[in-house]
Structure 1
Amino acid sequence: MKHFKLKNFLFAIVTTAALSSCHKDKNDVTPTTPIAQVAGVYVLNQGGSTGSITYYDYTTKVTTPDIYTTANGAGVGSLPNDLKVYGSKMYIVVDKSKVINVVNPKTAKLIKQISFGDSEPRSIAFYKNNAFVTSYDGTVAVIDTAALTISKHITVGSYPEQLVVSNNKLYVANSGGLAVTYDKTVSVIDLTSLAVTKTINVIINPVAIGADNYGHVYVISNGDYASVMPGISIIDNTADVATSQTTVDVGYGSPFVVSGDNGYYLSGTGKVVVYNTKTQAISSANFITDGTKLTAAYGLAANSTTGEVFVTDAKDYSSNGTLYAFDKNGKQEYTITVGINPANIVFVNK
């Protein structure tokens, strides 16, 4: 989910477009043991001037480099920033086009496009019958997932980025990323009243956020690129206080992905760090055990059923990237060619 200052600059200067036809890539090693119950995998490519969505079908072993355009006859938009499946719908958050494209996850066919007016939507999370979307106007939009309309805007901090649900509350990372002064807060929203109940101080410029099953919310911050280094803050989701703030080797804009008792994030040197959420300690400095080297580790996902971990490599940020699948022992299973700046990885069930 790379979507911050440096990456925005790179996107602005990149003009190469991804392919849009279906094919089997001769350079790819295709999976011989598809994930149980999973039909395929979507990868959201932020692209250069426009984004795309790659789809890999586990049954046919066919890659569709731009399935959104194939299904709808038009592109997904400029700088898509988040992609998630919830219920029977898939939500594509498109920053610069200022829309959310809601599609059928089995076909990628557009169901409805939700306009955000003049504001830039960033990231999405879900709770019961609502979707929650951060926007660079300093709000979280509440979307009714049945009507697909915005019912409310909740004011949070400056330039909010990712958000996560934990303990019936919504935690929002306020980065201040495009402001003169970086923000350093997480807004806590009660999911019954839909009101902010608390603001928690964390390491400056928080951008990514995740939660485990032990009452911890993890916040990755980029720092200020000068005196404050990147780090991770951990919030107790009962007391809503930051219990630790630690400088760590974390990659620019890395997500924090939780699967079972493990949390995963990308280091600045392209490694997949494993954090044990039960013992609250790093259990491995690199999940990858077979010597695979990543040029520009970018997106990250994990499957709690199989123990597999998936990482995208953006290469040079201007040509097609690669999706790597690793088994539970950190050994490479297969690769799939994807588009430019592949940021998000989503699986769709059969």
Structure 2
Amino acid sequence: MKKSFLAMVALLVSAPLFFTSCNDDNGPSFHYEVVSDGAFIVNSGNMYSSIDGSLTGINYASNVAVQKVFAANNGGQSLGSTPNDGLVYGDKMYVVVDGSNTVEVINKKTMQRIKQIKTTELLGAAEGKSPRHIIAGNGHIFFTTYGGYVAAVDTVNFKLTAKYKVGSFPEGLAGYASSIVVANSDYAKGHGNISIINLGTGEVETRNVEGINNPQKVFINNGNVYILDWVYYEGEYPNSVEKGESAIKYLAGNKATKVTDAYYASMLNGKLYIISNPYGEAKYSVCDLNSNPYQGTTTPLNLSEGVFSPAGIDVDPATGEIFVLSYNQGENGYADYYSNGYVKRYSKNGSYMYSYDTGVGPCAVFFNVGVKTIFDN
């Protein structure tokens, strides 16, 4: 099976359920199947209350959620301040820790640290500040930093192989063929834009796009690019004024057009799983981009029971099961940002399955995904 950058990013972000293989020597027939045996919840903690972040591990076989799995297997050592994202790639796990300026490299079986990448040492004090989001492919991890860079790091020797200057305060990124598309948020000041990295030449094009203000995530389906764009703020806090809207937008040249309302989103097989209006009466939906790539076809996602205060959504690429993160309700009736949260797990049809406790500030989900060889009868 050809493992191009596109194929590996597809496996990690929106994996197909089957890869097929033909055998030219009349040997046993087999195919590859994407499998998942668990999920990990990244908990950001609470920086203002000096609560460090943590990692919650959910084992599908035992149906048990274990708190602080990194600390438990590393002598009680904290994961750090404000972890923000993570993924499994090969036999390793990578967790991006914003406030500590680190990327933790972890053995996914033992949960023990292999390497702590200090991003300010790797890239420079300014360039490596606040790592944010991560993808992987072709033997590398690629992560954004608020210093305005995307770093490419070899997953064998953990050396920096390239760094790319992008826009202001980059957030999410996605790969397609030999390119990476980066969402530059401008720290919600309203002048966000998009960078396109050509991995073959090393060139970077940073493009201002009409209709893009505060981009957070990038989704790519059949070569079409979609941006999760949030509201932005004019003026200085506490007198700043909210502007714009939070939505999925279709990128065409230097212009973006709205597809559907969204605040949190995740994609699997060309379908966006969406939460909009999380701070009011949250709405859940699925936007199918396959049949109508420019506008999508949006239908309600009817979860059999909701959550109190949504904090994120993701979909297991092997099972299609849906995970929704949430804060608990505090004594004042509002979301409690200082205590443990929870995650609810649903079938791919939205039927409630299980609820698990998480750490403080659940913010991201990633899955223990691999490829299994299945021999055909």
Q: TM-score, normalised by structure 1?
A: 0.81
Shift of 1:296: 1.7
In structure 2, the gaps of 5 or more residues are 1-33, 234-241, 329-334, 371-377
The answer to whether the Cα contact below 8 Å between 2:141 and 2:153 also exists between their aligned partners in 1 is yes
Alpha-carbon contact 1:271-1:288 (below 8 Å) kept: no
Matched, 1:342 2:344: no
RMSD between superposed Cα atoms in Å:
2.2
- Aligned counterpart, 1:250: 262
Equivalent in the alignment of 2:271: 262
Q: Distance in 1 between matches of 2:353 and 2:298?
A: 20
Between Structure 1 and Structure 2, how many residues are aligned? 305
Shift of 1:293: 2.4
1:110 maps to: 113
Which of residues 71, 92, 95 in structure 1 aligns to 2:95?
92
Whole-angstrom CA distance in 1 between matches of 2:62 and 2:317: 24
Alignment partners' CA distance in 2, 1:333 and 1:102: 31
Q: 1:216 to 1:188 in 2, by over 3 A?
A: same
Q: Specify the code of the residue in structure 2 equivalent to 1:38.
A: S
Q: Could you say if the C-alpha distance between residues 242 and 265 of structure 1 is closer, same or farther in structure 2, counting changes exceeding 3 Å?
A: farther
Quick check: 1:71 aligned with 2:84? Answer: no
Residue 224 (structure 1) shift = 1.7
1:1-350 paired onto structure 2 within 5 Å: 37-48=35-46, 49-73=51-75, 74-117=77-120, 118=125, 119-177=129-187, 181-201=189-209, 202-212=211-221, 214-225=222-233, 226-235=242-251, 241=253, 244-246=256-258, 248-251=260-263, 254=264, 256-268=265-277, 269-278=281-290, 279-280=292-293, 281-290=295-304, 292-315=305-328, 316=335, 317-349=337-369
Higher radius of gyration, 1 or 2: 2
Q: Which has the higher strand share?
A: 2
Does the 8 A contact of 1:203 with 1:232 survive in 2?
A: no
In structure 2, C-alpha distance between the alignment counterparts of 1:266 and 1:159, rounded to whole Å = 24
- Structure 1 residues 289 and 96, CA gap change in structure 2 (3 angstroms): closer
Native 8 Å contact 2:207 2:254 kept in 1: no
Change in 2 beyond 3 A, CA 1:60/1:115: same
Identity of aligned residues (%): 29
Q: 1:60 to 1:326 in 2, by over 3 A?
A: closer
Question: What do residues 202-231 of structure 1 show as CA deviations (whole Å, max 9, x unaligned)?
Answer: 51011122222x221211111224332223
Verify the 8 A CA contact 2:342 2:355 in the aligned structure 1: yes
Secondary structure in 2 aligned to 1:177?
helix
